[in-house]
Structure 1
Amino acid sequence: MRNDVLMPVCDRSIEQAVSVLREGGLVIGPSRSNYNIMCDPRNERSIERVFQVKKRTKFGPLTLSISSLSGLDTFIHMPENLDKEVLSQVWPSELTLIFRKKYPFPERLTCGAPTVGLTWQGESAMQRLTEAYGHPLAVTSANLSGSGSGLVSLGKALSDLGDQVDLILQEPAEEGAKPAGTEIEGNTIVDLSFNPPVLVRLGIVPLDRIRSRFPGLIEDPAVYPQMLQERRELTEYQKEASHE
């Protein structure tokens, strides 16, 4: 890995990262729990490059990192049964929420799905960079696809993708560790595009924190793949019917 792409998180490196992203480049940096690879979600070439450097060939949409709730309606359809105030009660945190997408992102970002996941972790380089960029960023874990489901450390990010990106932001005092005392890996994920919403994965944020926020939440992640399959089949049927 070239040493000139590794910089400690500071005002100067954040400014440089913004320039890299605006030029269509890729940046690796830490959230509160994980090292992620980031790009502009409106840039189809940058998105494709993320898939290439991760060697991701299976279904794996990128997530949007947001820095506030401002302008959220530009990017997603807010569920009618969801009070927007709930979002300020569950975010910032290690929680990813999936919504029906509204913004015309490149199809590759969502792998053709009608939904997009959003995360707002706060208090991290990823948060600072998203704020400085002035637009949500596309993010995913900074490791090779299929090389493990654990949270990605700086060392893992460097060994897997260090030669493939344009800039790497490093926390000065640590190498991107999960929160103290946490044994569960990754973000908790809830899909709000279904009614009732469904738990996709239980991660760092416990069920007790979100159960009361999303009434009727289906808490068994095992049912989620079947729900997605039924949605895909219905969508295909509707497409075929519209052409008859």
Structure 2
Amino acid sequence: MFKWLKKNRQLYPLVEEDIFNGKIPEHIAIIMDGNGRWAQKRSLPRVAGHHEGMKVVRKVTKLASHYQVKALTLYAFSTENWKRPKTEVEYLMKLPGEFLSSFLPELIEQNVKVRVTGDLSQIPEHTRKIVNKAIKDTSKNSGLVLNFALNYGSRTEIVHAVKEAISCIEKGEYTVDQFDEEKLTQCMMTYPLPDPDLLIRTSGEIRLSNFMLWQLAYTEFYFTDVLWPDFNEEHLIQAIKEYQQRGRRYGGV
């Protein structure tokens, strides 16, 4: 780990050993926003921004793995994104397969475990096969969990979880009185991942956009004006350092 820090010190001046004096967030979630605006500012088609953003996923994943972050959840495609232009949606559907096809050997080498949260039934078969292959090929890895929120919407997830809980009650697995927050959490698509410690949203937007509404109850939020294709390792380090300055009291004092 420290070899990487020393090697990249000149490129990323914020990379310092003292970041380890504070607590590294176990689970980081990122709303990767601003790809389209990045492309438009350069008079490029919106898909060019998505392609550039894919490169950032690679950088951020490698750094999170180096910092021994346990889970990294990336909001790749929401249930609302189907409303976008057809050509853009088709391109977005190809990106997970393109990313995993090229990056999978590195993920295996870095002991990264691929996971997906969302409804894959609507994803094109070719992409679904590549995603499932990445999940299978990295299933025995024990390092960073790289969790893609793909065709994911938090309200849909909560409805699904409630239905599953009702089914458990009807089957007699537990009673209504025994039903609590922990049992609902176990019905969430993200289970058994821990709730995120840090949420990062890029591009200057300050909203959750139907992302992990249940899981983010006590998460620390970090918003930045940087567009996702411009987000780099230094920005991630800055977000972690900001997180380390926060006092997490969970309603206490």
TM-score, scaled relative to structure 1: 0.26
TM-score, scaled relative to structure 2: 0.25
Compare CA radii of gyration and give the structure with the larger one.
2
| Higher strand residue share | 1
